[in-house]
Amino acid sequence: MKTLADWLAHLEGLHPKGQAGIELGLERIRQVKAALGQIQHCPVIVVGGTNGKGSTCAYLENIIDRAGYKVGCYTSPHILAYNERVRLNGVPVDDAALCAAFAKVEAARLATGVALTYFEFGTLAAWEVFAAAGVEAAVLEVGLGGRLDAVNAYEPDVSIVTTVALDHTDWLGPDRESIGFEKAGIFRGGKPALCADPQPPQRLLDHAATIGADLRLIGRDFGFERPGAEAAENRLQWRWWCRSGDQLIRRSLAYPGLRGPTQLLNAAVALAALDAIADKLPVTMQAIRPGLIETELSGRFQVVPGKPAIVLDVGHNPQAVKVLADNLSNMGFFDRTYAVVGMLSDKDIAGALAPLRGRVDYWYLATLSGPRGTPAETLAGIVRASGLGGEILCHDTPAAAMQAARGRAGESDRILAFGSFYTVAGALEVLGRKA
């Protein structure tokens, strides 16, 4: 009998590039999905976007759980263990459930003679897990783009595009307009389609109009407000608002559990999505309040308690690192900042690091393994050429870089580990923490 490690090795072997193998398109997954006889038996929320997908999924999952439903959530990539990708009521599923699902998918794949990518195989298996568990709601995170992503083989009751920024340009196009069109591919005619980007690309708007989606935009149909110079107790809350039919709903809420101002965008669109399908999946404020406050997610401006201060963030593109830099500015004063960085070679590395110009005293640069990994020496060349400042040290792995930074940083310093899920995984390994 195959173990989970056996199955994951098998999935890696299905594509010449293993887990990194990307082959967009829906024909393969639809064939195997049909052979499996998969039927959507519950409301489905599909979440796409460049940044903010994972946080938005976490809010949705936590609120739906607090409302008393059995909820399945499928996200990617994982940080430490594959099981993190498939969760039931916030808990990663066990190896046995995944192995049973993988076996069913493999049997259907062999029967159809279809070759699946790692992500396609995993997506089908996640749905098998959810079906076996009898979930009452499913939250599915898009892996790459939207229009041709495996998750788009499922029919959403509501679709979300969080943000549109430059990332994966080799696959999605060279500009926000092209990428916006690909992201909008998860929208459906006659169904609620939400966008939390304050400046949505015109092609996203045009596509929604062409297919007749019920498009809802932040700032127009839903949004949030931060209280101004009011009573001190009011500054501990923010206000969410949403147009629902002829009504304007306003709710005062405690700040969400995930840190940083951008999390209000993610929380606002999650609440608007739940409002949009309230007839199919009603949730109350008694579920929303603790659902937002108690949401936790590794690697999203995650501050590890203790001294020196340690911040973990999976941000790896210019938009995400700009948000990270802004959040760092709000942390207060630290004597020195140590940056532990590892990045994949298909990213805009110079653009991603630019927001940290002059903010880092020591760069602990790490080589990421695998065909897409960037050598530490290459990162060093980019840091120098970009004039980012700071002393540069190169290491073979993120764990080695993190270990070295911890050995040098004092109690009044700050360590920032970012640039990739692999970088955060290496940092967590050194810290002895679970994702």
Of the candidates 245, 270, 293, which is a domain's last residue?
Answer: 293
Q: Are 35 and 108 in contact (CB under 8 A)?
A: yes
Per-residue pLDDT band for 18 (boundaries 50, 70, 90) equals very low
Q: What is each CA distance from 328 to 52, 137, 363, in whole angstroms?
A: 17, 36, 16
Q: What is each CA distance from 42 to 154, 269, 274, in whole angstroms?
A: 11, 21, 14
- Statement to judge: residues 68 and 109 lie in one domain: yes
Mean pLDDT, rounded, of the chain: 92
In a domain, 167, yes or no: yes
Question: Which domain range does residue 384 map to?
Answer: 302-430
- Statement to judge: residues 179 and 313 lie in one domain: no
Write the CATH number for 351.
Answer: 3.90.190.20
In a domain, 435, yes or no: no
pLDDT of 233 higher than 60: no
At 168-197, the pLDDT tens digits run 667 677 789 999 999 999 999 999 999 999
- Statement to judge: residues 243 and 321 lie in one domain: no
Enumerate the β-bridge partners of residue 218. 222
The β-bridge relationship of strands 414-418 and 337-341 is: parallel
Enumerate the β-bridge partners of residue 239. 225, 252
Per-residue pLDDT band for 17 (boundaries 50, 70, 90) equals low
Alpha carbon dihedral 284, 286, 289, 290, in 10-degree steps, equals: -120
The β-bridge relationship of strands 391-395 and 337-341 is: unpaired
In whole angstroms, what is the distance from residue 324 CA to residue 423 CA? 15
Q: What is the DSSP letter of 218?
A: B
Q: Residue 13, Cβ neighbours under 10 Å: how many?
A: 10
CA-based nearest residue to 100, from 140, 62, 130 = 130
- Statement to judge: residues 308 and 357 lie in one domain: yes
Of the candidates 293, 322, 342, which is a domain's last residue?
Answer: 293
- Statement to judge: residues 362 and 316 lie in one domain: yes
Q: What is the pLDDT of residue 169?
A: 64
Number of domains in the chain: 2
CA angle 324, 61, 207 (to 5 degrees): 75
In a domain, 363, yes or no: yes
Of the candidates 293, 322, 352, which is a domain's last residue?
Answer: 293
CA-based nearest residue to 312, from 329, 324, 296 = 324
At 397-432, the pLDDT tens digits run 999 999 999 999 999 999 999 999 999 999 999 998
- Statement to judge: residues 272 and 363 lie in one domain: no
pLDDT of 13 higher than 80: yes
